């Protein structure tokens, strides 16, 4: 690879949703954009989170100058504990983003060694040969930025997650002017969020939910339970404003809801009127028509506050007949079953549930740009080259078509994780591939990877069950002492008949082995495993995990 080109190396987020991470390299200097995670798929048993393989960064650790964060969602900051445990470099983010990062790093005992540096929208700073300019964008979270990075070959722009909202509830609208000025200055490469590329038109602004929510607050006669993503600070603020307007006190229930609201209050994004917030313990003493409960658990998480309240198992959140529960959020693909389980339980409590009632008006809006906003951004920046980011292969493909359709980029390229893009002032090309992939982090940890073999074993156990054969052998003679003990788990057969059959198989295996073989317990264990596997498959057609245990006496 030429040393006189700018290299773009995506390590995650191109070809999947989540795990966003991208390296930008000029000679001996690398900056990283975002450090996200993705949540495990159903077959990743016992896995807590999935993070990108950062072999490329660890192999070039002396060149990495820092990590730039576009915003504070988990798919952009959730992999930081893993990455910083391997590669302790400065982390740059806006005030709200870094506050979320601090809590995450403190939880994993990494905060004391972390170097967190605040960046301000509109204020540029130097990082090696790069000049970084954060630009204010709007999203479903507050304090989000796109990144304009001036490099020796030209300016590249990474949008992060965005939509164009000119009436954001926090008073910080999308900075159209700065993007237009950047376009006049000249943009070499635009890397743009592909999440909603399959949606025509414009994404509604956050205030678009206000009329319908106002109607719900006005018409609700008893308790109102309101659930949304705890990171949706705009939505939480709107709910508080409406509660105040309609004479309701607000109780916060759920750790994530409580933490996010506390941070937003500390940083001035939420400023509830005096006396609006009450402790959850006061709910039982309040008239039902005078309370609004902001509760976490919008995705039906099993131990969330809403899930427990739905089965009448929460200390303070009691949902009764006639209460209203509003889901002001989207269903994340894969979460349909737990969400509808919670909704079923709410109906059993005779609650009124509003999640997607088909009536006029919106109770939730997306935080990502639709097709017309994507085209508007391209028209503002007028980039020479274009790469779609953040999405499955189908989203990236469609996004290339949208970009080409504007007639502006000279070249639009579909890129996947690991592909190395070399960029000069007059060319863009793929020149190689680096190692990428998914690192599976075990439950209860953010820094301990799980080997693929362990996941295979867990899957094998979940599908086939376990057969444990405990065999006692005389160390001197190599003969069995007593009948083997057979233990089965998750293996539905006639246990007594199967145990008899397996004991006979073990006896035959040992008796047919030479004295020398019997004295080598590692060898005899493998022979027993092989013979038991053959016998079980012949008798039942099943393939459980088989574990012979040899006890020598």
Query: Is 170 labeled as catalytic in the residue annotation?
Result: no
Cα(487)–Cα(547) distance, integer angstroms = 10
Query: Is 161 labeled as catalytic in the residue annotation?
Result: no
Q: Is 89 annotated as a binding residue?
A: no
Q: Is the distance from CB of 295 to CB of 303 less than 8 angstroms?
A: no
Cα(100)–Cα(235) distance, integer angstroms = 18
CB atoms within 10 A of CB 394: 11
Query: Considering 75, 175, 193, 241, which one is annotated as catalytic?
Result: 193
Query: Considering 368, 390, 395, 399, which one is annotated as catalytic?
Result: 368
Q: Is 389 annotated as a binding residue?
A: no
Cα(125)–Cα(445) distance, integer angstroms = 34
Which helix (H) or strand (E) is 454 found in, with range? helix 452-464
Pairing of strands 144-151, 130-137: antiparallel
Helices and strands in the chain: count of H runs, count of E runs: 16, 27
Cα(464)–Cα(347) distance, integer angstroms = 37
Residue bearing tokens 């990428």: 436
Residue in 37, 135, 15 with CA at minimum distance from that of residue 419: 15
Q: Is 367 annotated as a binding residue?
A: yes
Cα(116)–Cα(113) distance, integer angstroms = 10
Give φ, ψ of 83 to 5 degrees.
Answer: -65, -45
Cα(528)–Cα(533) distance, integer angstroms = 8
Q: Is 365 annotated as a binding residue?
A: yes
Q: Is 364 annotated as a binding residue?
A: yes
| Overall size of the chain counted in residues | 553
Half-sphere exposure at residue 346, Cβ-oriented, CA atoms within 13 angstroms: 25
Catalytic residues: 193, 368
Give the residue ranges of the annotated binding site for substrate: 364-368
């Amino acid at each position: 690879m030429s040393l006189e080109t700018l290299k773009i190396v995506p390590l995650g987020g191109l070809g999947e949703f989540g795990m966003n991470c991208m390296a930008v390299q000029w000679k001996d200097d690398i900056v990283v954009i975002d450090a996200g995670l993705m949540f495990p798929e159903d077959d990743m048993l016992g896995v807590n989170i999935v993070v990108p393989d950062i072999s490329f960064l660890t192999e070039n650790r002396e060149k990495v100058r820092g990590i730039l964060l576009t915003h504070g969602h988990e798919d952009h900051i959730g992999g930081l504990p893993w990455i910083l445990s391997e590669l302790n470099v400065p982390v740059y983010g806006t005030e709200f983003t870094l506050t979320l990062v601090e809590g995450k790093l403190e939880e994993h005992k990494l905060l004391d060694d972390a170097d967190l540096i605040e960046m301000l929208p509109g204020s540029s700073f130097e990082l090696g040969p790069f000049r970084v300019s954060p630009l204010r964008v709007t999203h479903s979270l507050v304090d989000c930025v796109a990144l304009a990075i001036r490099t020796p070959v030209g300016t590249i722009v990474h949008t992060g997650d965005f939509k164009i909202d000119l009436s954001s509830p926090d008073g910080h609208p999308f900075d159209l002017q700065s993007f237009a000025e950047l376009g006049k200055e000249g943009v070499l490469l635009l890397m743009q969020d592909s999440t909603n590329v399959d949606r025509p038109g414009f994404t509604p602004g956050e205030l678009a939910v206000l009329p319908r929510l106002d109607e719900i607050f006005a018409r609700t006669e008893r308790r109102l339970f309101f659930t949304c993503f705890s990171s949706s600070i705009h939505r939480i603020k709107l709910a508080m404003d409406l509660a105040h307007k309609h004479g309701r006190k607000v109780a916060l229930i759920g750790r994530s809801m409580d933490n996010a609201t506390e941070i937003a209050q500390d940083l001035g994004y939420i400023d509830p009127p005096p006396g609006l917030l009450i402790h959850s313990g006061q709910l039982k003493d309040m008239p039902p028509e005078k309370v609004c409960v902001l509760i976490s658990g919008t995705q039906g998480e099993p131990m969330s506050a809403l899930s427990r309240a739905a089965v009448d198992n929460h200390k303070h959140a009691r949902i009764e007949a006639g209460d209203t529960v509003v889901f002001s959020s989207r269903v994340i693909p894969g979460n349909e079953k737990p969400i509808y389980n919670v909704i079923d339980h709410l109906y059993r409590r005779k609650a009124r549930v509003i999640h997607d009632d088909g009536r006029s008006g919106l109770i939730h809006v997306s935080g990502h740009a639709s097709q017309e906003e994507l085209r508007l951004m391209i028209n503002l920046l007028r980039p020479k080259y274009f790469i779609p980011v953040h999405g499955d292969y189908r989203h990236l493909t469609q996004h290339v078509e949208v970009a080409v359709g504007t007639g502006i980029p000279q070249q639009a390229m579909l890129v996947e994780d690991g592909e190395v893009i070399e960029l000069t002032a007059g060319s863009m090309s793929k020149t190689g591939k680096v190692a990428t992939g998914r690192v599976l982090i075990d439950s209860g940890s953010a820094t301990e990877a799980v080997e693929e073999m362990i996941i295979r074993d867990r899957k094998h156990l979940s599908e086939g069950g376990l057969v444990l054969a405990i065999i006692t052998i005389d160390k001197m003679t190599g003969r069995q002492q007593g009948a083997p003990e057979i233990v089965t788990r998750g293996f539905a057969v006639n246990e007594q008949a199967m145990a008899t059959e397996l004991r006979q198989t073990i006896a035959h295996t040992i008796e047919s082995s030479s004295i020398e073989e019997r004295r080598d317990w590692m060898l005899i264990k493998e022979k027993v495993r092989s013979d038991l596997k053959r016998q079980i498959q012949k008798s039942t057609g099943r393939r459980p995990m088989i574990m012979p245990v040899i006890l020598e006496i």
